[in-house]
């Protein structure tokens, strides 16, 4: 696992990919006088204007307070009659009660989806126009119905929410570490002949991305179509703001999803959290692994970084091709799908089981990511093992976890032992007491941080993807995953979770009594604001 020669490690200086582009300069002076600096300045200016306006209203304070209280009362009644998640309703009622002058306008602002309507309209049109782009093989569906009517029902639900067929004869390989995924990714990229599509939440300059970039530039020079898409938050954290232009100079098409702009917008609430790589339409990767050095433990952050991924080889890769193209074409005048989806898929091995790739869009009314997880919990008979970096649950998900354990199902949660963020860690611990009381077993990964997003159940079902157990993933992010039923890798996934548990410390019922008071207090306060985080 730590043998660098096995995974193609090189020193950064020896990687030609890192010399293709000069590493982006991120100094303070450059940031201040850059597009990013202008964006930050204009955002702060807008905040200043809002608070100046509120200060100006203080001379009319009695009238203003009377109107704000009346409006807040109306908003509370309105909120109780919406279809929002019950936990979110409680949060908003608290915010409006405590801050009547700001709470109700803030709620109206977030519900207005300012800046999102055009995205929602375009993406909705693309999804609708491609609903039958990949037809479901009726024979596969019939076989699945005979083998597992419950899994077939879930497949029908996912088909309703998008173009997500069920596939057979797709080989699935599971990677228990980011290093393993990276090594195979490099090998598969070298074999690309027609196109490479990559969509990642985080790309950061370093060895991992440098080696990938080296191959992408070489393949682009050979005539392979290469497209790279990453989330716009990278320009604040990991990449220079001109990075798309710099990649285009290498022959690589590049876009940012939702790049930062000078205007406050709820658009920023919806991030592209997906991790997708598709090669020639027949090979696809997904999972928790981004393209940054901590994911392969080249750079240490929060101890040992435990992450997972899968590779699909076969027809099921087409679904990830479609998901990528839907996001890529949001701002294209003439979107093109056919020639990428009609690529011939070489006959693969007769792999057992069924594979169902799917995505979750925050702009519709379906909470596909959460409902798939809850379906696994509700149908489990023997066990459900889960790995997640975060645990910020709504009432429905917490109830599903508790109910499964109370039915006698062995429910195990593997969470980080070393957190990456203090506030989500404090919030996760607020769920411990109730879950433990119902019989859920909780483990904290002692060596470091768990970033994996994995469910595995009853030696038959598993999900590997990008979907965390928190509000961000379940409500606000664009996500993706693959649902696996009786595939050959289920045993590998179970064994990996068990190996991770063996390196973890079990949380016992008296744990919270011994927890630091400051952390408990932080979780106690943040609990009311969890849906907003």
Task: Note whether 258 and 232 are within 8 A (CB).
Answer: yes
**Alpha-carbon gap, residue 302 to 417, rounded angstroms:** 9
Query: What is the 3-class SS of 28-72, one letter each residue?
Result: HHHHHCCHHHHHHHHHHHHHHHHHHHHHHHHHHHHHHHHHHHHHH
* In 352-478, beta strands by DSSP E: 354-360, 383-387, 410-416, 441-445, 448-450, 454-457, 461-465
Residue 28: the pLDDT is 44
List the structure tokens of 318: 């087409």
Q: What is the pLDDT of residues 366-407, one digit of tens each?
A: 899 999 999 999 999 999 999 999 999 999 999 999 999 999
Mean pLDDT of the chain: 86
DSSP-derived 3-state class of residue 279:
strand
242 vs 113, residue with greater confidence: 242
Residue 343: the pLDDT is 81
**What's the CA dihedral at 69, 71, 74, 78 to 10 degrees?**
-120
Q: Examine the pLDDT at 112 and tell me if it is beyond 70.
A: no
Per-residue pLDDT, averaged over 349-360, amounts to 93
Q: Which of 3-7, 392-396, 529-533 has the lowest mean pLDDT?
A: 3-7
As beta bridge partners, residue 507 has 442
Task: Note whether 247 and 220 are within 8 A (CB).
Answer: no
Residue 399: the pLDDT is 96
Residue whose pair of structure tokens reads 């294209």 in the numeric block: 332
List the structure tokens of 274: 């997906």
Neighbours of 305 (CB within 10 A): 29
Residue 37: the pLDDT is 58
Q: Examine the pLDDT at 210 and tell me if it is beyond 80.
A: yes
Going by C-alpha positions, the residue among 466, 460, 485 that lies closest to residue 387 is 466
H helices of 99-148, where?
100-112, 117-129, 138-147
Q: What is the pLDDT of residues 322-336, one digit of tens each?
A: 999 999 999 888 898
Angle value at C-alpha 107, between 102 and 108, nearest 5 degrees: 100
Q: What is the pLDDT of residues 87-105, one digit of tens each?
A: 777 777 777 777 766 676 7
- Angle between the 395-406 and 368-379 helix axes, to the nearest 10 degrees? 10
Region for residue 371 given its phi and psi (left: phi exceeds 0; alpha: psi -120 to 50; beta: otherwise): alpha
37 vs 1, residue with greater confidence: 37
List the structure tokens of 410: 């062995």
DSSP-derived 3-state class of residue 1:
coil
Q: How do beta strands 441-445 and 504-507 pair? A: antiparallel
Question: Is the torsion defined by CA of 120, 337, 134, 203 positive or negative?
Answer: negative
Domains of the chain: 29-112 (no CATH), 135-153+164-357 (3.30.870.10), 368-532 (3.30.870.10)
**Alpha-carbon gap, residue 463 to 375, rounded angstroms:** 11
Q: What is the pLDDT of residues 431-468, one digit of tens each?
A: 999 999 999 999 999 999 999 999 999 999 999 999 99
Could you tell me what percent of the chain has a pLDDT over 90?
61
H/E element holding 231? strand 225-231
Task: Note whether 296 and 327 are within 8 A (CB).
Answer: no
| pLDDT classification of 510: cutoffs 50, 70, 90 | confident
| pLDDT classification of 167: cutoffs 50, 70, 90 | very high
Could you tell me what percent of the chain has a pLDDT over 70?
83
| pLDDT classification of 515: cutoffs 50, 70, 90 | confident
**Alpha-carbon gap, residue 524 to 27, rounded angstroms:** 38
**Alpha-carbon gap, residue 528 to 28, rounded angstroms:** 36
Residue 329: the pLDDT is 94
Q: What is the DSSP letter of 439?
A: T
pTM for the model = 0.87
Q: Examine the pLDDT at 164 and tell me if it is beyond 90.
A: yes
Look at the chain and count its residues: 533
Residue 119: the pLDDT is 80
Task: Note whether 347 and 462 are within 8 A (CB).
Answer: no
**Alpha-carbon gap, residue 277 to 330, rounded angstroms:** 18
DSSP 287-323: ES--BSGGGGTSS-SSBEEE--EEEEESTTHHHHHHH
Neighbours of 164 (CB within 10 A): 21
Q: Examine the pLDDT at 347 and tell me if it is beyond 50.
A: yes
């Amino acid at each position: 696992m730590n043998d660098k020669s096995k995974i193609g490690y090189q020193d950064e200086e020896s990687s030609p990919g890192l010399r293709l582009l000069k590493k982006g300069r991120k100094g303070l002076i450059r940031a201040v006088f850059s597009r990013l600096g202008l964006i930050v300045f204009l955002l702060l200016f807008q905040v200043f204007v809002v608070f100046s306006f509120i200060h100006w209203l203080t001379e009319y304070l009695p009238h203003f307070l009377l109107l704000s209280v009346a409006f807040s009362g109306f908003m509370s009644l309105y909120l109780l009659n919406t279809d929002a998640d019950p936990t979110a309703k409680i949060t908003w009622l608290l915010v409006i009660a405590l801050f009547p002058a700001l709470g109700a306008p803030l709620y109206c602002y977030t519900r207005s989806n300012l800046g999102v309507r055009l995205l929602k309209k375009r993406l909705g049109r693309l999804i609708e126009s491609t609903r039958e782009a990949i037809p479901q093989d009726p024979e596969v569906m019939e076989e699945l119905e005979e083998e597992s009517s419950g899994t077939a029902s879930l497949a029908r639900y996912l088909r309703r929410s998008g173009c997500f067929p069920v596939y057979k004869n797709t080989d699935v390989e599971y990677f228990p570490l980011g290093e393993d995924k990276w090594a195979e990714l490099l090998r598969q990229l070298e074999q690309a002949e027609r196109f490479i599509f990559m969509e990642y939440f985080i790309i950061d300059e370093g060895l991992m991305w440098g080696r990938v970039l080296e191959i992408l530039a070489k393949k682009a020079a050979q005539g392979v179509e290469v497209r790279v898409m990453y989330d716009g938050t990278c320009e604040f954290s990991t990449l220079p703001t001109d990075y798309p232009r710099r990649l285009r100079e290498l022959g690589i098409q590049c876009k940012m999803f939702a790049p930062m702009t000078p205007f406050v917008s709820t658009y920023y609430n919806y991030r592209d959290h997906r991790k997708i790589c598709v090669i020639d339409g027949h090979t696809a990767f997904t999972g928790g692994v981004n393209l940054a050095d901590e994911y392969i433990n080249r750079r240490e952050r929060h101890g040992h970084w435990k992450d997972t991924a899968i590779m699909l080889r076969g027809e099921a890769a087409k679904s990830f091709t479609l998901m990528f193209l839907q996001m890529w074409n949001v701002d294209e005048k003439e979107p093109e799908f056919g020639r990428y989806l009609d690529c011939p898929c070489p006959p693969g091995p007769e792999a057992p089981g069924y594979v169902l790739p799917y995505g979750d869009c925050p702009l519709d009314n379906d909470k596909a990511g959460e409902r798939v997880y809850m379906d696994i919990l509700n149908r489990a008979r023997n066990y459900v093992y889960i790995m997640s970096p975060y645990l910020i649950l709504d009432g429905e998900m917490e109830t599903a976890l508790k109910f499964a354990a109370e039915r006698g199902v062995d429910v195990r949660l593997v969470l980080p032992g070393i957190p990456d963020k203090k506030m989500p860690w404090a919030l996760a611990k607020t769920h411990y007491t109730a879950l433990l009381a119902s019989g859920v077993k909780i483990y904290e990964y002692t060596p470091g941080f768990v970033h994996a997003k994995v469910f595995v159940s009853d030696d038959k079902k598993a999900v590997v993807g990008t979907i965390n157990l928190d509000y961000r993933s379940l409500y606000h992010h664009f996500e993706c995953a693959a649902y696996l039923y009786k595939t050959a890798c289920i045993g590998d996934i179970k064994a990996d979770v068990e190996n991770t548990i063996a390196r973890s410390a079990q949380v016992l019922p008296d744990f919270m009594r011994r927890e630091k008071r400051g952390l408990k207090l932080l979780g106690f306060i943040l609990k009311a604001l969890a849906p907003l985080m």
